[in-house]
Amino acid sequence: MKIDVEQLAEHLAHIPFQVQGVYRYAKSTGVPYAEYTDSFPGFVFPLNGKIQFQFNGTPYIFSPGKIVHGGANMKLDQKKFEYANWEYILVQYQICNTELQDSSFSQQHFELLTGQSPRLIELILRLWQVYNQRGGISRFQTEMLFRDVLNEALLCVVNSQYSSESHTLFERVCNYIHEHYYQSLTISCLAEQNHVNRNRLSYVFKKHAGIGPAEYLLKYRINMAQKMLYTSEAPVQQIAQAVGIEDPFYFSRVFKKQFGIPPKEYREKFINNPC
C-alpha cells in the first residue's frame, strides 16, 4: 500500500532506531527462502530488475524507482520473474524504545515511489559498503548514512509527487485554454479556477512548455487565427475577435511577430500559393 510521506517523516523524526543489518541480494546468489520476515522491520532498495514478494498476502514488485518497507515477522511469499536479473539492498532496523516497537508505521508494509534517483542509489551503495567495514567509526557512519538515505528517499517521493501533480495541472489548464481560447481569459482566473496562485501556474507552464501561461494562450490564439485566415473569408478584425483578441492592431503585430508577415499578407500569400 501507499503511505502519507509527511506522516512517515514525522514518525521517523520521533522514534529512536538503529541499523541491525544491511544486506545485498542478487539473482546470482539467490535469496534464502523464508516463510516469514525477520524479527526486525526493514526497507528494501531495489537496484536492478524485478522480483515480487508478498507481505501478509499483499504483493509488492521490487524494481528501481521505488522502496518497499516490511514489518517484522510478516508472512512472506516470493515470486521470481523469468529472465529478470534483479538486485536489491535490504536495511533492517530496530526501534530502541520498547514502548514504540509496535508503532503503526514500523509494523506496516508499504511502498514509496521515489522515481529514478542516482543520488539515492549512491547513498544506499555507500551505506552497504560502510556497514561491511569494521570499527566504531564505520558503525557511527552507518547510522548517519541510513538517516541520509531515508532523508533522500523522502525528498524523492515528495519531488516525484510534485512533478506528477504539476503535469496534471499543466494538462488541465491547457485543455481548458484549447476549449475556451476565444473567451476573455486571464491568468488570474485560470489560476483561481485551479486553486493555485499565478506564480505556481507560471512555474508549471515554464517547466512543461518552456513559456508562461500568457504567452501560451497568445500563441494558441494566433495559431487558431492562422487556420481561420485560409479556411474562411472573414475580415482580419473579425478573426481577431473570434480568437479572443479585441484590438486588431495588436493582433496584426503579434501575428507578424509569430509568422514573419502581417495577417493580410499571409492570407494573400496562401491564396496565391496554396501548396
**How confident is the model over 55-91, as pLDDT tens digits?**
999 999 999 999 999 999 999 998 887 767 889 999 9
Q: What is the pLDDT of residue 205?
A: 94
Residue 264 has pLDDT above 80, yes or no: yes
Q: What is the pLDDT of residue 79?
A: 85
Phi, psi of 206 (to 5 degrees): -65, -30
- Among 17-21, 82-86, 133-137, 239-243, name the one with the lowest average pLDDT: 82-86
Phi, psi of 101 (to 5 degrees): -65, -30
* Number of Cβ atoms within 10 Å of the Cβ of 112: 19
* pLDDT band of 96, cuts 50, 70, 90: confident
Cα separation, 160 vs 114, whole angstroms: 6
Report pTM: 0.67
- Looking at residue 23, the DSSP 8-state letter turns out to be E
Residue 231 has pLDDT above 90, yes or no: no
Q: Which of 101, 112, 117, 115 is nearest to 20 (CA)?
A: 101
| Domain edges within the chain | 5-159, 181-275
Pick the CATH number of 181-275 from 3.30.70.1880, 3.40.50.280, 3.40.30.10, 1.10.10.60: 1.10.10.60
Phi, psi of 197 (to 5 degrees): -90, 170
Q: What is the pLDDT of residue 81?
A: 79
The arithmetic mean of pLDDT across residues 154-165, rounded, is 87
Cα separation, 87 vs 56, whole angstroms: 22
* pLDDT band of 97, cuts 50, 70, 90: confident
Q: What is the pLDDT of residue 100?
A: 59
Q: What is the pLDDT of residue 162?
A: 83
Residue 273 has pLDDT above 70, yes or no: no
Residue 248 has pLDDT above 60, yes or no: yes
Q: Tell me the pLDDT tens digit for each residue of 130-151.
A: 999 989 999 999 999 999 999 9
Tell me what the pLDDT averaged over the chain comes to: 89
Q: Which of 221, 141, 137, 216 is nearest to 174 (CA)?
A: 216
* pLDDT band of 207, cuts 50, 70, 90: confident
Phi, psi of 81 (to 5 degrees): -100, 130
Q: Which of 188, 214, 112, 123 is nearest to 154 (CA)?
A: 112
Q: What is the pLDDT of residue 215?
A: 95
Cα separation, 243 vs 236, whole angstroms: 11
Residue 174 has pLDDT above 80, yes or no: yes
Q: Which of 159, 41, 50, 23 is nearest to 93 (CA)?
A: 41
- Is domain 5-159 in CATH 3.40.50.800, yes or no? no
Cα separation, 263 vs 183, whole angstroms: 21
Q: What percent of the chain has pLDDT over 70?
A: 93
Q: What is the pLDDT of residue 275?
A: 47
